[in-house]
Amino acid sequence: MDAGCPRLPDTVLFEIFLYLDHADVLSVGLVCQQWRAVARDEFLWKELFYRYYRVSRDVPRHPGAVSWYDEFQRLYDTIPCVEVQALKEHNDQVLHLSFSHSGCLFASCSKDCTVKIWSNELDISLQHSSNMRPYNWSYTQFSQFNSDDSLLLVSGVFVGPHNSSSGEIAVISMENFTLLSRVRNKPYDVFGCWLNETNLISGNLHRIGRITSCSVLWLNNAFQGIESENVNVVKRLFKIQNLNASTIRTVMVADCSRYDSPDLLLDYEEQLAASSTCPVFDLGSDSEEEEAKPKPPLEPAVQELPDAGGVPAEHGLQQLFDDIMEGRVRPAMTETELETKVAELFVHSRTKPPEPNLLPTDSSSKTKYLIFTTGCLTYSPHQIGIKRILPHQMTTAGPVLGEERRSDEFFDSLDHVIDIHGHIIGMGLSPDHRYLYVNSRAWPRDCIISDPMQPPPIAEEIDLHVFDLKTMKEVKRALRAHRAYTPNEECFFIFLDVSKDFVASGAEDRHGYIWDRHYNICLAKLQHDNVVNSVAFSPVEQELLLTASDDTTIKVWRSPRAVRIRQARRPRPRKLLFSWLMNQKS
């Protein structure tokens, strides 16, 4: 067969290969000796790679790749894009998926108010289902396994009026699926998360005015019913003032000790080496030229306290009242503007200053970051707040209300704020906790928010931003492909997930999406019949991906390579003739 292959010049051969499907290219490589002679030519595969995947030529090859041939094959053969199973045990919208750290189990949450535990074997099967309606839950919305997979945190929403924001966190034992404890959680989209094996973080919200509030984050022991008679089971972590109807939501914890051994470094162009850290950065610009110009840092959500030479905040508050009473404030303030101004002045004199030197200094640091969405202009989440959790704060031992505070330290300040200039609809950490991925829908450029209860319109395109938590800077350009359509006031969370080499996200366009983290390219679209709310990679096998949808199904996706391997392992059915002979013999 090889002898019959027509002899073509390499240049012509290469142009043909550029227009062939890559599956055909690999087939040709098995048949044609001439193609095999050039099949490992690095120049040809490099050209094919950049053209086929439309990667910018200033992006180097993946640091773990041996050759361009292997890299082309990796992106073709290891993407979990083949549907192998559809799980239909839920009877309403499926909202969230989470794997255990061992990859042996995963949990799903749904509008049918159940949390289901699944066994990840050759064929995925349902192991347990817990109905949360007896606890007055409306639905389950989020789950997370603790670090040793012995406990499952489940977050849900209480039954209540349409504008109710109350929720609850339940802790379920994985040994016998019993309910160990329940913790109030407000607002419900704080979700909650594990800080360590036995302690979880929840939220509470206290209204101060019409658009001013205080978010309190609590550390809770998972075994409250057992230990509450002898030791503290709760402790207040932080108390943060919210302005302009904003609240703290979507809490997660990043472990700083992993930063110096990342799975994948994304700063291959060393974009950030020459720039210094700034407390807040704005992502509203679409212009590369404009980004190249130095920008003054924007005002952070929590401002710095006035120095000794400045005017004390109490005097500023008194001056404001005097100006109002004597008619010196022009133009006249609305009730909302007045409340915001008073709250800003009050927080100046009642806030504990941020921790110095936020960035971890060594890889052995036991410091963790509490990461959450927040805001300062309107109720829609448009900023990411970061607060350092020190080692002594990681236990419920000690006073319930935390360390004793002075009167001028009533609130805690944020250590770092990232301004997204848009509505944040999803966040996820890389497995090494080095990078934070953020789904957002951008606001119009140069928009002005005059009323915090009327946020700007949001784009249909979803931007996927990437931040390096070691340097607190954005890396790479935002990823795009997925879309969302609900307006601002109805916008909901779309969960994303990150593996060693890939990042995946749901979308409202009835697809899940997969990108390559190194090359910043979209690799696959995964079809559903309705909105895709959540995605989850297996933590031990990134060629396995789950997607959850409003169409009530969970789909299981594997890579072409994994499908071939699993099919080879399956026992083959006996041939009909052999079966007939055996029956006749018996």
Per-residue pLDDT of the chain (586 residues; tens, 9 = 90+): 444 444 444 444 455 455 454 445 555 444 455 555 556 678 888 888 898 889 988 889 998 889 998 898 899 899 999 999 999 999 999 999 999 999 999 999 999 999 999 999 888 999 999 999 999 999 999 999 999 999 999 999 998 766 677 999 999 999 999 999 999 999 999 999 999 999 999 999 999 888 999 999 999 999 876 555 556 689 999 999 999 999 999 999 999 887 766 777 776 554 334 333 333 333 333 333 333 333 333 333 333 333 333 445 555 555 655 555 555 555 566 767 666 766 666 666 677 777 666 555 554 467 899 999 999 999 999 999 999 998 888 888 777 776 666 665 678 999 999 999 999 999 999 999 999 999 999 999 999 998 999 999 999 999 999 999 988 999 977 888 888 888 877 778 999 999 999 999 999 999 999 999 999 999 999 999 999 999 999 999 999 999 999 999 999 999 999 999 988 876 665 555 555 555 655 5
Q: Would you tell me how many other CB atoms lie within 10 Å of the CB of residue 327?
A: 8
* pLDDT tens for each residue of 344-390: 666 666 777 776 665 555 544 678 999 999 999 999 999 999 999 98
Q: Give the residue from 303, 497, 458, 467 showing the smallest Cα distance to 380.
A: 458
Q: Give the residue from 555, 560, 512 showing the smallest Cα distance to 532.
A: 512
For the record, the structure tokens of 412 come out as 């805690």
CATH numbers and ranges of domains, the chain: 10-78 (1.20.1280), 82-260+365-567 (2.130.10.10)
Q: Would you tell me how many other CB atoms lie within 10 Å of the CB of residue 490?
A: 7
Task: Tell me the residue type at 456.
Answer: P
Looking at residue 245, the DSSP 8-state letter turns out to be: T
- The two beta strands, 411-412 and 351-352, are parallel
**pLDDT for the residue numbered 583:** 60
Exposure string for 277-294, b = 16+ CB within 10 A, e = fewer = ebbbbebbeeeeeeeeee
Query: What sign does the dihedral 567-569-570-575 (CA atoms) show?
Result: positive
Looking at residue 2, the DSSP 8-state letter turns out to be: G
Q: Give the residue from 492, 469, 356 showing the smallest Cα distance to 415.
A: 356
Helix (H) or strand (E) holding 152: strand 151-158
Q: Give the residue from 17, 12, 41 showing the smallest Cα distance to 28.
A: 17
The tally of CA atoms less than 13 A away on the side-chain side of residue 325 is 6
* Beta pairing partners, 218: 202, 236
Maximal C-alpha separation, the chain: 110
**pLDDT for the residue numbered 303:** 35
CB 27 within 8 A of CB 1: no
- Give helix 68-77 / helix 42-52 axis angle, nearest 10°: 40
**Spatial distance between the Cα atoms of 306 and 52, rounded to a whole number of angstroms:** 56
**Spatial distance between the Cα atoms of 319 and 326, rounded to a whole number of angstroms:** 10
For the record, the structure tokens of 423 come out as 């509505």
Q: Which residues contact 75 (CB under 8 A, 6 or more apart)?
A: 53, 516, 523
**Spatial distance between the Cα atoms of 191 and 186, rounded to a whole number of angstroms:** 9
- Give helix 68-77 / helix 22-31 axis angle, nearest 10°: 120
Q: Give the residue from 341, 430, 441, 429 showing the smallest Cα distance to 382.
A: 441
**pLDDT for the residue numbered 52:** 87
Helix (H) or strand (E) holding 322: helix 313-325
